[in-house]
Structure 1
Amino acid sequence: MINFENLEDARMLAQAIVNTIHDPLLVLDKRFHVLAASRSFYETFKVNAEDTYGQLLYTLGDGQWDIPALRLLLETIIPAQTAMNGFEVEYDFPGLGQRIMLLNARQVVYGEGSGTTILLAFTDISARRAIEREKDLLHERTEELLRQKGVLLQEMQHRVANSLQIIASILLLKARAVTSEETRRDLQDAHQRVMSVAEVQRHLHVTGGIDQIEVGSYLSTLCSSLGSSMTGESQPIEIKVSAEIGRIGSDQAVSLGLIVTELVINAIKYAFPALNPEASIVVSYDVNGSNWKLVVSDNGVGKETVPDAKSGGGLGTAIVQALVKQLDAQIETVSDATGTAVSITHATFSARLPEAA
C-alpha cells in the first residue's frame, strides 16, 4: 500500500492514472459534477479543462450532454446496480458528431461519511457498428441475389423440362408415323434418351432447384418409365432398381441416366428373344465415399447367343463409352448363357448390391 504525505500527492496519482486510460473517462461526484477528466476526453470531445472541471455534467457544452439515456444510466441504473457495462447510446455528441458510444459506469463508495464518486468511461464503437451494418446489408443483398438466382434457375429448369417433353413427344409421334421398322426403333431410342434427361430436370424442379439428385428415386422413376414404354404383355420384363441412399450432381445424373437408358434398352431388345416369364433386369448403384459402381444386369440369353445384338459398336455403345469416359470411369461387360452384366466403376471396390439371378 502506498502512503501519501498529503492529499495533493494522492490527487496527482489519481489524475495520472486517469490520463493513461485510452478511452475518454470522467470522474463525477454524487451530484454529477466533474471532479476529473482524462486527457482522451478533452481530445475526443474537443473541450478544455476550464469549461469542464467542477461543472455539472448535464450543463457541459451549453447543455449538449443532457442526454436522456445518460440520465437514465447515472440517476436510475447506477444507484440500483452500482455498475453498468456496455450501455449503448447513439447520439449527436458535442464536438464529435453522430456517434455510437458504449458507456461503462461504476459507483465508488468510500468509508462512512466520505461520500461517493462515479467513474464514467466512453468507448466509440461507431466504426464497428458501421462495419456490422455493412456486413448485414451485404448478407441481405447476397440472400436476395441467391433468392433471385434460385427463381431464375427454377424457371429455366421448368422451361428446359417443357422443351424436352415437347421434343420427346415429337419423336414419339414420328416413330408411330414412319413405315420403316429400323427408323421407328431409332426414333424410340432417341425418345427414351430425351426422357432420361427430362427426368433429371423434373427432379431438380421438385427439389426446389437444388443442383443435387437423389439417385435411388431418380433411377427408379427412369426405369419405371422405360419399362412402361418398352415392355408389354407379349414379353413382360421386370426392371428392378437397388440403389444406396445418396445424392449426385445433376450433370453426373444426366450421364448415369443416359447410360442406364442405353443399357436397359439394349437388354430389353436383345436379352430375351423368346418369351421368358422370369425375365428380369436389375439396375444397382453402390457408393463408397467418392467411389461408385453402376451395374445393369439381366438374366437373358447372353450376347454370344445373339449375333445381331450390335455389341460391336452401334450408336448406343458409342454413347455409353463416351459417357463412361466423361465420368472418368471404367466399363466391364460379363456375358454368358445365364445373362449379361455391364459394370461402370469409378475407382475399384467390391459392390455390395445383388445382381440379377
Structure 2
Amino acid sequence: AVSALVGDDLYAVLSTPSEGLWSWAQGNVLSSVVPPLLAFILALAAVWVVTEQVVIRWLHYLQRIASIYARGRFSVRAKAAEAPPEIRQLADTLDLMAGTIVERDADLHESLQHKDDLMREIHHRVKNNLQIISSMVSMQQRALSDPAAKSAMNDTRQRISALALVYRALYQGPDLRQVDLGAFLEELTAQLIVSESSSGRVVRTRVEADELVIDPDKLAPLALFAVEAISNAQKHAFAGRGGDLDVLFRVRDELASLEISNSGEPDAPPATLGDGVGRTLMTAFARQLGGKAEFTPNDKGGLSALLSFPGPEKQYETPAAKLQFKRNR
C-alpha cells in the first residue's frame, strides 16, 4: 500500500513478501537438508543396482568359470551373450584360452604316448637282441667239453638273460619308468632255477618282497647282483643235490635290502664266498646302487648275500596302485 505524506514529495510504502517455490522451507533447517540427501541416496541405490546387474554379476560368473578352469575342466564354456560388450569380450578371451589349453594338452599327451611307444619298441628290440646273444652263447656252451669253460659260458648266459628280463619288464609294464620289484624277482628266480629242475635236482625257493616300484637304473644292478648270488648257490650249494633258496627283499624306512640265502650240505664246513669274479661283480653292483654287499654264513650251513642300498623310490599306498608285472613269454 502507498500513502502520500507531504504533497507529492514524501510517500509511505507498506509491503509483504510474496510466497516463492521454497518459501515454505524458510525457517525449517531439517526440511532444507532432507530432500537433497534423499535424492543422493536414491541416485546411489540406482547406481548400485545398475552396477550389480551390468558388471558385478557378470564378474562373479566369470570368476566361477576361471575357478572351474583352475581345476582342469576346460570343456566348460562361458555363456555371456547378454553381457555388456566389455564383459562379453572378456568371456570370449577365457573361452579362447580354454580351447588353446585343451589343444596343447592333447598335443602333449599324443607326444608323450608316441615317446612311450618308441621307448617300448626300443626295449623290445634290445630284449630280442639280448635273447639272440644268449642263445648263441648257449650254443657255444654246448659245443665245449671243458667243464670250467662251460661254467663260465653259463654264467655269461645267465647275466645276459637277466638283462633281457629287465628290458622285458620295462616294455611290458604299465609304466616305463618303474617296475614292480616283487614280481620281477619271482620271474628272475624261476628263470635261473629252471636248469636245476631239468637236471633232476630239487631246489625249493621262497621269494618274499615288500611292495615297491623301482627305477630302471637301479633294477639292472640289483638283478645282476641276484644272478651272481643264485649262480654261486647253484655251483657250490646245489651241485648234485638241490637245496633251499630264499630271496627276501625288505624296505625299512629309507633303506632297502635284498638278501639271498641258500642251504648247505649237512656236516659240511661253513660256506664262504671267495675272492673270484662273482664277489667282485656283486661288490661293484652294490657300489653302483650306493650301497654295500655283505656275505655271511647262515644257520642252514649255507651262505647269505645281503645287498643294502638307500632311497627306495615309491612304496604302494593302496592295492589299486600296484603295478602288475605281465608274465607274457
Could you state the TM-score of these two structures normalised by the residue count of structure 1?
A: 0.62
Which residue identity lines up with residue 288 of structure 1 in the other structure? R
The 1:274/1:177 distance shift into structure 2, 3 A limit, reads closer
Describe the superposition over 1:153-175 as per-residue Cα deviations: whole angstroms up to 9, x where unpaired. 11111111111111111111111
- Aligned partner (choices 318, 330, 343) of residue 306 of structure 2: 343
Q: For 1:117-196, what aligned pairs fall within 5 Å after superposition?
A: 123=87, 124-196=90-162
Q: Aligned-pair distance for 1:338?
A: 1.6
Q: Aligned-pair distance for 1:226?
A: 0.7
| 1:300 partner SS | coil
Q: Which residue of 1 aligns with 2:277?
A: 315
Q: Does residue 300 of structure 1 match 2:264?
A: yes
Q: Aligned-pair distance for 1:239?
A: 2.6
- Aligned partner (choices 324, 329, 333) of residue 291 of structure 2: 329
| 1:247 partner SS | strand
State the identity %. Answer: 23
Which residue identity lines up with residue 326 of structure 1 in the other structure? Q
The structure with higher relative contact order (CA 8 Å, sep 6+) is 2
Which residue identity lines up with residue 316 of structure 1 in the other structure? G
Contact 1:24–1:121 (8 Å) recurs in 2: no
Describe the superposition over 1:22-79 as per-residue Cα deviations: whole angstroms up to 9, x where unpaired. 9977xxxxxxxxxxxxxxxxxxxxxxxxxxxxxxxxxxxxxxxxxxxxxxxxxxxxxx
Q: Aligned-pair distance for 1:327?
A: 0.8
Q: Aligned-pair distance for 1:193?
A: 0.5
The 1:185/1:259 distance shift into structure 2, 3 A limit, reads same
Contact 1:283–1:295 (8 Å) recurs in 2: yes
- Aligned partner (choices 186, 203, 217) of residue 183 of structure 2: 217
Contact 1:263–1:296 (8 Å) recurs in 2: yes
| 2:208 partner SS | strand
Q: Aligned-pair distance for 1:341?
A: 1.0
Contact 1:101–1:122 (8 Å) recurs in 2: no
Contact 1:103–1:122 (8 Å) recurs in 2: no
The 1:11/1:341 distance shift into structure 2, 3 A limit, reads closer
Distance 2:37 2:137 in 1: 106
Q: Which residue of 2 aligns with 1:102?
A: 80
Q: Aligned-pair distance for 1:271?
A: 1.8
Q: Aligned-pair distance for 1:184?
A: 1.2
Q: Which residue of 2 aligns with 1:262?
A: 228
The 1:4/1:228 distance shift into structure 2, 3 A limit, reads same
Structure 1 or 2: more strand by fraction = 1
Distance 1:203 1:280 in 2: 26
Contact 1:260–1:296 (8 Å) recurs in 2: yes
In structure 2, list runs of 5 or more residues that go unmatched.
1-32, 63-77, 312-329
When the two chains are superposed, the root-mean-square deviation of aligned CA atoms in Å is 3.7
Distance 1:24 1:134 in 2: 28
Q: Aligned-pair distance for 1:319?
A: 1.3
Q: Aligned-pair distance for 1:13?
A: 5.2
- Number of paired residues? 258
| 2:80 partner SS | strand
Q: Which residue of 2 aligns with 1:111?
A: none
Q: Aligned-pair distance for 1:301?
A: 4.0
Q: Which residue of 2 aligns with 1:96?
A: none
The 1:130/1:168 distance shift into structure 2, 3 A limit, reads same
Contact 1:262–1:316 (8 Å) recurs in 2: yes
The 1:125/1:4 distance shift into structure 2, 3 A limit, reads farther
Q: Aligned-pair distance for 1:233?
A: 4.0
The 1:306/1:334 distance shift into structure 2, 3 A limit, reads closer
Could you state the TM-score of these two structures normalised by the residue count of structure 2?
A: 0.67
| 2:258 partner SS | strand
| 1:296 partner SS | strand
Q: Aligned-pair distance for 1:129?
A: 2.4
Q: Which residue of 1 aligns with 2:16?
A: none
Distance 1:10 1:269 in 2: 100
